[in-house]
């Protein structure tokens, strides 16, 4: 046995012993689990460890066990982790179509959960498997989606999700296949930097290997050889024997004139494969690459041996494919049988409830008919009431309004006939009372009128009344509004009337009791509320309840329309009235 072979065997045995200790500890923890939740969690971890150590058959056993536990209490998140594990296991078994199918299932789960980390992970696995099936355009799209979905921060999960360095590294390898060397170098540099920053050792090893292949493509052999040897050293340091074996095969290409060096590299890679678990995919890459070298060298014996090994791997892969195809087919048949039984039960149930459905439908039709007739009659009554309200409004305006106008005119005429002081007092009282009644009547008629019932109409009415009230007086009046966004919203008559009388009460109080010389009225609105603010520079509230009946009237009216009142007495008085607008 050569020195290289002996060293490689010792190296592999040491790694296997360490990894076996790790998985044995995990199995011991699993055996101590008292709950299904604990068993499920540990089964996922054990399966992941077996995948990492290239024990794919054992990994599959634990994945199947975890799936059975999850079926008892299904969880979308756990289902995703199991789908991700299954995808990775199929990838290393070279069952790429099955892996793509599982990745697509993972994508659907990620979309359902709206989890960007799951989506990035699933699209990554879809992309790397499509690279193996030569669907390069679809693979590039999947890897781009993985990059775009990758979150800024990945939380801790039951299963280790793919790192962003892997996404960039596989984009680089895809660009290498497409002979886009500059783009490949760009992505591999990003991958390598991320891997080193995050202490992602496999990412570091992959990055160094990819640099070697890229420089080889650029015919920079010294740089290529340096990076591949560096990758071997890193892989040996971190126990990644599959990459050590593959890099040995890549290095063989540049020693075709040195048979001893080629054989040493081949023996080293072969010892790793034969004495440790290396997945079929890496074995195939190693043997195919070594075969190319020995074909260049014309070594017939090695060529025949390697061809036999490649055939053996292909047969093993085909056997696995048949096994999983049969397994999936059996599961499909079981599912179809379940669906058939469910369909038969559904037909039996539908036959039993057909009459009930007919009765319910007939009852529903009668209910709808009754509701339609009810609302039709209700609309007719509402229209009749509206017509009567408009008629009352017209009669009040035409008859009572004109009579009040006549009283006011006659009172003014009497005032001009030089009556006695007592008569003058009575005439003034009649004039004031008549004016007040006339104004209240106008407000009442306005509240009944449904043609001018928007926020805009209310603002115009309040503004016009206020300007008329202070016209010719010493009071400086200022009006402002901000209701453009809701100026066409409807205010019912009851609400308009009460809000207007509150404004009127506040304005009259500012003039009569507060001795104000400046009064401001502002109206503003949002989608949900209308706010009226009356502000003066008078004496303010001298004591609690200083407005007496006026304040009480405002509060009662706002309570009636479910509004609110706020008072602020500072350099005058500010009254804020707020009501809700119908949505």
pLDDT tens per residue across span 412-455: 555 566 666 665 666 666 666 666 665 665 665 666 666 778 88
pLDDT at 6 (0 to 100): 35
Task: Classify residue 52: in a domain, yes or no.
Answer: yes
Task: Classify residue 362: in a domain, yes or no.
Answer: no
Nearest to 299 by CA among 288, 290, 310: 290
Provide the 3-class DSSP secondary structure of residue 35: coil
Task: Classify residue 21: in a domain, yes or no.
Answer: no
- Taking only the tens place, the pLDDT of each residue in 267-309 is 999 998 888 878 777 888 899 999 999 999 888 998 899 899 8
CA angle at 494 for the pair 492 and 500, rounded to the nearest 5°? 100
Task: Classify residue 92: in a domain, yes or no.
Answer: yes
Report the domain count for the chain.
Answer: 2
Q: Taking all residues of the chain, what is their mean pLDDT, rounded to a whole number?
A: 81
Quick one: pLDDT band at residue 14, thresholds 50, 70, 90?
very low
Task: Classify residue 462: in a domain, yes or no.
Answer: yes
Assess contact for 27 and 46: CB atoms under 8 A.
Answer: yes
Last residue of a domain, one of 151, 176, 211: 151
Range of the domain at 468: 453-580
CATH number at residue 89: 1.25.40.10
User: Rounded distance, CA 245 to CA 309, Å?
Assistant: 15
Over range 533-554, report the average pLDDT. Answer: 77
Tell me the sheet residues that pair with 481: 523
User: Rounded distance, CA 533 to CA 507, Å?
Assistant: 11
Continuous segment of H or E residues that includes residue 221: helix 221-238
Last residue of a domain, one of 90, 118, 151: 151
User: Rounded distance, CA 189 to CA 197, Å?
Assistant: 12
Over range 540-558, report the average pLDDT. Answer: 74
Nearest to 518 by CA among 480, 479, 477, 481: 477
Quick one: pLDDT band at residue 329, thresholds 50, 70, 90?
low
A 10 A CB-CB count for 208 gives 24
- Whole-model pTM: value is 0.53
Both tokens of 138, joined, read 């679809």
Q: What CA dihedral angle connects 4, 10, 14 and 17, to 10 degrees?
A: 130
Model confidence at 576: pLDDT above 50 = yes
Which of 149-163, 243-257, 522-536, 539-553 shows the lowest mean pLDDT across its residues?
539-553
| 456-463 CB contacts, 8 Å cutoff, 24+ apart | 456/483, 456/487, 456/488, 458/491, 458/496, 458/499, 458/500, 458/523, 459/483, 459/487, 459/523, 461/500, 462/500, 462/503, 462/521, 462/523, 462/532, 463/521
CATH number at residue 544: 3.30.565.10
Task: Classify residue 494: in a domain, yes or no.
Answer: yes
Nearest to 491 by CA among 582, 387, 379, 385: 582
User: Rounded distance, CA 188 to CA 184, Å?
Assistant: 6
Identify the residue whose tokens are 């290095």: 251
The distance from CA 358 to its chain's CA centroid, rounded to whole angstroms, is 42
Model confidence at 93: pLDDT above 90 = no
pLDDT at 10 (0 to 100): 34
Q: How many CA atoms lie within 13 A of 367 on its CB side?
A: 6
Q: Exposed e or buried b for every residue in 447-458, given b needs 16+ CB within 10 A?
A: bbbeeebbbbbb
Task: Classify residue 506: in a domain, yes or no.
Answer: yes
Last residue of a domain, one of 135, 151, 167: 151
Query: What are the C-alpha distances in Å from 563 to residues 481, 507, 532?
Result: 19, 19, 11
pLDDT at 15 (0 to 100): 41
Residue 451 phi, psi (nearest 5): -85, -20
Task: Classify residue 331: in a domain, yes or no.
Answer: no
């Amino acid at each position: 046995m050569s020195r290289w072979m002996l060293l490689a065997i010792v190296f592999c045995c040491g790694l296997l012993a360490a990894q076996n200790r790790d998985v044995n500890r995990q199995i011991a923890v699993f055996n101590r689990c008292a709950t299904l939740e604990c068993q499920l969690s540990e089964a996922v971890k054990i399966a992941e460890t077996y995948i990492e150590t290239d024990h794919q058959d054992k990994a599959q056993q634990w994945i199947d066990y975890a799936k059975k536990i999850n079926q008892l209490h299904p969880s979308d998140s756990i289902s995703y982790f199991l789908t991700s594990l299954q995808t990775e296991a199929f990838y290393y078994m070279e069952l790429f179509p099955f892996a793509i199918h599982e990745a697509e299932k993972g994508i659907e789960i990620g979309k359902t959960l709206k989890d960007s980390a799951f989506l990035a992970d699933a699209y990554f696995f879809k992309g790397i498997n499509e690279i193996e099936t030569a669907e390069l355009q679809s693979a590039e799209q999947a890897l781009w989606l993985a990059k775009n979905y990758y979150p800024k921060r990945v939380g801790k999960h039951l299963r280790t999700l793919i790192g962003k360095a892997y996404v960039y590294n596989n984009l680089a390898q895809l660009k290498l296949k497409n002979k886009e060397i500059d783009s490949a170098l760009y992505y591999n540099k990003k991958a390598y930097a991320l891997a080193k920053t995050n202490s992602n050792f496999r990412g570091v090893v992959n990055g160094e290997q990819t640099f070697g292949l890229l420089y080889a493509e650029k015919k920079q052999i010294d740089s290529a050889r340096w990076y591949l040897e560096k990758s071997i050293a890193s892989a040996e340091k971190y126990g990644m024997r599959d990459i050590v074996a593959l890099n040995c095969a890549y290095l063989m290409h540049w020693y075709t004139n040195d048979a001893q060096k080629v054989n040493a590299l081949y023996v080293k890679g072969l010892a790793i494969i034969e004495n440790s678990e290396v997945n079929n995919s890496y074995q195939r890459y190693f043997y195919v690459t070594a075969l190319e070298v020995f074909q260049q060298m014309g070594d017939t014996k090695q060529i025949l041996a390697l061809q036999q090994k490649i055939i053996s791997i292909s047969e093993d892969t085909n056997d696995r494919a048949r096994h999983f195809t049969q397994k999936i087919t059996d599961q499909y048949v079981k599912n179809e049988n379940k669906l058939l039984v469910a369909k038969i039960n559904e037909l039996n149930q539908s036959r039993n409830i057909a009459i009930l459905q007919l009765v319910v439908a007939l009852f529903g039709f009668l209910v709808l008919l009754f509701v339609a007739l009810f609302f039709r009659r209700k609309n007719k009554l509402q229209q009749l009431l509206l017509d009567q309200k408009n008629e009352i409004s017209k009669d009040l305006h035409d008859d009572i309004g004109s009579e009040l106008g006549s009283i006011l005119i006659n009172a003014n005429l009497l005032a001009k006939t030089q009556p006695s002081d007592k008569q003058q007092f009575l005439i003034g009282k009649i004039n004031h009372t008549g004016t007040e009644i006339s104004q209240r009547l106008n407000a009442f008629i306005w509240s009944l009128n449904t043609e001018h019932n928007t926020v805009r109409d209310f603002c115009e009415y309040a503004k016009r009344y206020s300007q008329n009230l202070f016209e010719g007086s010493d009071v400086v009046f200022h009006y402002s509004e901000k209701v453009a966004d809701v100026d066409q919203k409807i205010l019912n008559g009851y609400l308009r009337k009460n809000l207007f009388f509150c404004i009127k009460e506040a304005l009259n109080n500012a003039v009569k009791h507060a001795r104000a010389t400046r009064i401001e009225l502002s109206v503003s609105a949002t989608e949900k509320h209308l706010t009226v603010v009356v502000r003066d520079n008078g004496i303010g509230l001298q004591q609690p309840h200083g407005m007496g009946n006026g304040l009480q009237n405002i509060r009662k009216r706002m309570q009636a329309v479910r509004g609110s009142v706020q008072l602020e007495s500072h350099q005058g008085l500010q009254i804020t009235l707020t009501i809700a607008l119908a949505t």
